[in-house]
Structures are given as C-alpha cells and as structure tokens.
A and B are shown apart, each in its own frame.
Chain A
Amino acid sequence: MPSANLLFQALASGLFMGALYGLIGLGLGLGWGILKQINLSHFAWVFLSAYLTYELKTRFGIDPLLCLLILLPVFALLGVLLQAVLAKFSITPFNSLMATFGLTVSVEAFIQLVWSADFRRMNSHYDELKFRLFGVIVTYSEALTMLLSLVCCFAVWWVLYKTDIGKALRASAEDPDIARAFGINASKLSLALSGACAALACCAGVCVALTFTLAPSQIFAWIGVIFAVVMMGKLASAWAPLVAGLVIGVSESMTMALIAPTWAPLVSFTLLILILLMRRSHD
C-alpha cells in the first residue's frame, strides 16, 4: 500500500492530467453539440500546435505562453477555413467523422515529414520551476495547464451564457429554422465557432508541449480517452468535459498508484460504457 504522500501526488497528477483531457475535450464537444460535427482533426490541431510550440521554443527561444498568443489566431483561421469547406457539403455527423479522419491522417504524415518520428521533448523553465501545494510537488507546467483549462472553460461558459453570440449559437443548435426566423445567421456563426474550437485545440496543444514528450503516433493514442471525456457529459457544455476529464484523470492515476499502470484504461472505459447504457434517448 503506497504512502499517503504518494497517493496525494498521484491524485494531483491525475487532476492535472484530467484538466488537460478536459481542455482537449472542450473544443471537440462544442463542435459535436453545436455544429453536429465529430471533428477528428481536432486531435491533429492539438498536436500540430504542440509541435509548432516546440519548434518556436527550441529554435527561436520564444516563451511557450508567447507562442500561444502567436498561434491562436493562426489556428482560429484554420478552423474557419475548415468549416468553410465542410459547409459546402451537407454531411451527416458520421461522415464528418470520416472526412476529418482523412484530414488527420494527412496532418499526422505532415508532422512526421517535418519533425520525424523521433520523440521530441520541449525543454522549458516551466518544467524546472516547482512549488509545494498541500504537501505535493507541482511543476509550473502542470499548474499552467490547470489554469489555462479553467480559464478556457470559464471563457466558453461566459460566451455561451452571457453573450448574445453564445445564446444565438445555442438556439441555432437546438432549432436552426426558428433561429433563422429570428435573424440568426447560422452559417456565419458556424465559421466563428469552428475558429474558436481550433483556437481551443491550439491552447491544449501548448499545454501538451509543456508536459509531454511528443511523437506523431500520439495523435491517435488519445482519441479513445477524449471521446470518453466528451461522451460522459452533455455535449456543447462548458464545464462537463472538465469534470469528466478530472474524473477520468484521477481514476486513472489512482488505479496506476494503487494497482498497476496498465489497469488504468479499464476504469475510464468501463465508466463510459455504464454511462452510455444508462443514458436516456436525447432525440
């Protein structure tokens, strides 16, 4: 039985991992719930952003947070472009999954072309700086991840519930015809939302670069757990992905500490299965 300190450390690392899961799931869930698209390329954007952050830091010494500011508009634009193309075809959510899968394959190959399949680890001072919180050691990278995740969730919540654009988005997700009857321009809103989701992916990518070793194959490794995060709660929710992420992150890390690392996926996926079985029909 591991010591209390070790358990707390595991809990903390689970929370930070969960915050990252939540941040990645946030953008995916928004697109799924409002645009009715299952955008697999979301994962490609996350890792593209991570690799670009790595590149900017390693080659030009740019601080990762500054990288974030530089990359956000780039990815927002990418998101808008993607939606502009997708909107020309009327596709079912499932077909959007397949179409974006193709895009993800391309981006993964592109990443491998530029950065090779070697493992890449970004070295930043954020990793070296640590502090103690309730007896647990936390790196600045982890703290930053948690902070960014909370900020993004709050921002999404605020936009969705406190601004006109957010209300318009929620309305057109529920009843696009009547929303249009009241002057809501659904196509313009979709472009903006797609840009926002890509920007969220960019943010997540910076966090990934801060805390993880990168490899192109990673893109596909995360799909399963992030889908679990998104499906556990309501789609297009500001806080549900974070909560689900924390639940999964902690259950994984505790399983790792208490039993063995290799048992970790069992908990999250069994939880997902149970939740799916117990949900009532939405439509």
Chain B
Amino acid sequence: MPFTSPLGNLFGPSPFKPLQEHMRVVVRCAEQVPGLFEAIFSGDEAKLQAVKDKIFALENEADEIKNELRSHLPRTMFMPVDRRDLLEILDLQDSIADTAQDIAGMVTLRPVAPLEPIQAPLMALTERCLDACNKMASIMEELDELLETGFRGRESELVLNMIDELNKIETDTDHKAIELMRELFVHEKEIDPISLMVWHRLIRWVGDLANYSEKVGNRLRLLLAR
C-alpha cells in the first residue's frame, strides 16, 4: 500500500549539502593549478597533460553537482536563504573551477616559454590565491552552524570575521599580481610575444581564483546582513 505523509513530503532535500559538496570539488580543482606551472618550469610534458586531465575531470564533476542541485531547487521550496542568493553562490563557486579549466586549457593549447625570473613570484601568487579558495571553503563549511543558529548571533559574527580575513587575502593577491606583472614586463624581451601575451592572461586568471572566492564570501555577507 503506497502512502504519502504530508509530514514526510514536507522536508525537501537540503540544498546546502550539495552546495558544500560542489565547493569541495571546486577547491580540489583549483589546487591542481600549481602543478601545471611546476610542469611548465620543469619541462615535464607528461605531467602537464596529467594535471590538465585531472582539472578537466574535476571541473566536469563540479558541473554535474551544479546541474543536479539546480534541478532540485524548485520555486516551491521554502528555504532560510533566498533562492537567488544560493544560485548566485553556486555560480561563483563554479567560476573557480571554470577558471582553473581555462588555465589548464591555455597552457596545453599553446606551449608557453618558461621565464625563470617570474617562477618564484608566480608560485607565491598561486599559493596565495589558493589560500583565498581555502578560506572560502572554511566559510562555506560553517553553513550547517549558520543554519542551526538561524543565520544570526555569534555564529554569524564568526563567519563575518572569516569573510573579513578572506577580503584581506584577496587584497594581498592583488598586490602580488601587480608585482608579478611588473616582473613579467621587465623580462618581456626574453620570450616570444605570444608567450608574453599568454603569461599575461594566465596571471589574470590565477588572480581570478581569489576574486571569485572573495565574491562567494561577499555574497554570503549580504545574506547574513539581512
């Protein structure tokens, strides 16, 4: 005898769990980016391909979670946060994976000449951008606690502080990116112009990893401010 209980059907699937799952995959995807640069500077073609494949696979995985979550978020769902905010956060998280994919796609599409003087600052910038991604991740991991406390009170203050820290990290990545650009143009004559153009674009994209992480945090800030 099939039956439906109004009480049983009242509870929809939590959108927060897949959102966090998506975030974890996206961060893992971004964490592969330093591997690409290491491969370029060590001239390890096989490693470059392997890392690129891994990034593409993770980006794909993130897309699947994203589409699954989107299809389970009908307008009749009553949630403690605005549906649009949730979808916006999902899209911003997804942009991080997309950016990592752009970087991986570009370095395998057009081999870029390794430029020794920018190696150290580039690695430093990438690591700092990953710090931003990880900060965003630990903020998103607080969603369960925010839900428990109704997105108010001490827990929300804690998360707001974490978002402040994320903002500081992002500002830091901006400075590092400018320094790196300067270094790149100092040595512009040492590589072919196309490589120069590609490096310029890659640096922008690495910076975007931190930018999108910050935007996730800022979106959450709006949500807590209400």
Genuine A/B complex:
no
Q: Which residues of B contact A (CB under 8 A)?
A: none
